[in-house]
Amino acid sequence: MNSIATDAGNAGRKAHATAGAASVEDRRLGTWAPRRPIPPIVRGEGCELIAENGDRYLDLTAGYGVCCLGYNHPAIVDAIKSQADRLTFCPLNVSSAVRAEYVEALAAVLPATLDRVFPCNSGTEAVEGALKFAALVTRRSQSVALRSSFHGRTLGALAMTWNPAARRPYDGLLHDAVFVQPEAEAIEQAVSEETAAVVLEPVQGEGGVNVLGDDLLLAARRACDRHGALLILDEVQTGFGRCGNWFAHQHTPGLEPDLMAMAKGIGSGFPLGAIAYGGRVAEALRPGSHGSTYGGNPLACAAGLAVVETLRRLGLPERAAAMGGRFADSLRSRFASNPRVREVRGRGLMIGVVLRERAGRHIARLATEHRILALPAGPNVIRLLPPLTVTEEELERGAEAIQAVLGGE
């Protein structure tokens, strides 16, 4: 290796060790998200993140719900490594063998009416593209979204996001969104001849692990049909087995979206997103209607293919349904008489412990005192999104730690 590069690398590592990764990140990146006061993480294995001092953290969030197969699952690592040996990039204007194999495999697990896929790189990009497609099909620019929704951070997706902390700084600068209470009647009243799309998460993640009922979801479908609008389901967090089905909306018989946004679990840690569509949308799209340089790149496709095959081979969506149901029941019985806990809700391995008080300090104690990572969802909810490969023992350890932090103080 070139000695200048080696020296620079050594100097960089030294600075890193002296200043600490967290303070380097604060200085160079700014603090985009509140960072937990735990040592820098250097490795991942199964459901655990391993710090540079050797401490192991049980991550019951799968890293924002991303690593559905846990950290560094051998199927993903091998797929990425062997693809990297062959080809790391292939533009969309030439055919790619791994991309073709991937989209066939993906189509086999998608709802039958969504038979086309636009590959992209993240959740917000998937939502953004879905909104753009809906505008193109309907020639309308207003959309209906729910209070407590979260759809991403780019301009269109942010416009559909309720979370005031994310949206308020941009008030007056975003697209036209109508926010309604998560109620069937409110949606039916809000949708009109001006509506391009209704955008929903079947289970609201950031907003509090709110499971939307069949009546609401079907009412949204009907309202869209009545007014020529499109139904966009944001399954970025709920998809790929998380909620005990390939996609959470499949729990609602007869519900067929026009567009579905996917990310997070779709790549189990590799940056990958996709928009699934069919019917009216497929008819309206033309070459040039949309694009993405990195969308469908070979590394992402190899990772995505390994995710689909592994979820299928291990039956992880079904396992998430069974395990999540047992875990939620066990949390309910643990907290039945705990005055701090209002309820335990969720679907599959997407679970919220809803408190009567703010959740933040309990989540911080879980990390610092018990080496368990959990997420907030809204102010009062402890959100659990463990890898779908989590064991009963790991869930039990998590439940005990939650009980310890919530227990009599």
Ligand X SMILES: Cc1ncc(COP(=O)(O)O)c(C=O)c1O
| CB of 234 or CB of 394, closer to ligand X | 234
Task: Name the DSSP class of 299.
Answer: H
Closest distance between ligand X and the C-beta of residue 240, in Å? 13
Q: What CA–CA distances, in Å, run from 282 to 136, 222, 241, 277, 329? A: 11, 21, 26, 7, 43
| CB of 294 or CB of 314, closer to ligand X | 294
| CB of 123 or CB of 129, closer to ligand X | 123
| CB of 150 or CB of 335, closer to ligand X | 150
| CB of 206 or CB of 394, closer to ligand X | 206
**Helices (H) and strands (E) in the chain — how many of each?**
15, 17
Closest distance between ligand X and the C-beta of residue 207, in Å? 9
Closest distance between ligand X and the C-beta of residue 64, in Å? 6
Place of tokens 């399954």: 235
Find out whether 233 and 179 touch, Cβ atoms under 8 Å.
no
Closest distance between ligand X and the C-beta of residue 210, in Å? 12
Closest distance between ligand X and the C-beta of residue 201, in Å? 5
Strands in 230-234's sheet, in edge-to-edge order, are 116-120, 273-277, 259-262, 230-234, 195-200, 142-146, 177-180
Chain centroid to CA 208: 14
Closest distance between ligand X and the C-beta of residue 127, in Å? 5
Give the integer Cα–Cα distance in Å for 274 and 98: 16
| Binding-site ranges for ligand X (CB under 6 A) | 64, 122-124, 127, 150-152, 201, 205-206, 234, 236-237, 263
Closest distance between ligand X and the C-beta of residue 380, in Å? 18
| CB of 262 or CB of 353, closer to ligand X | 262
Q: Could you tell me which residues are beta bridge partners of residue 262?
A: 274
Q: What CA–CA distances, in Å, run from 193 to 37, 128, 187, 224? A: 50, 21, 13, 9
Angle, helices 392-406/316-335, rounded to nearest 10 degrees: 30
| CB of 30 or CB of 287, closer to ligand X | 30
In this chain, which residue has its C-beta nearest to ligand X? 123
Give the integer Cα–Cα distance in Å for 306 and 329: 32
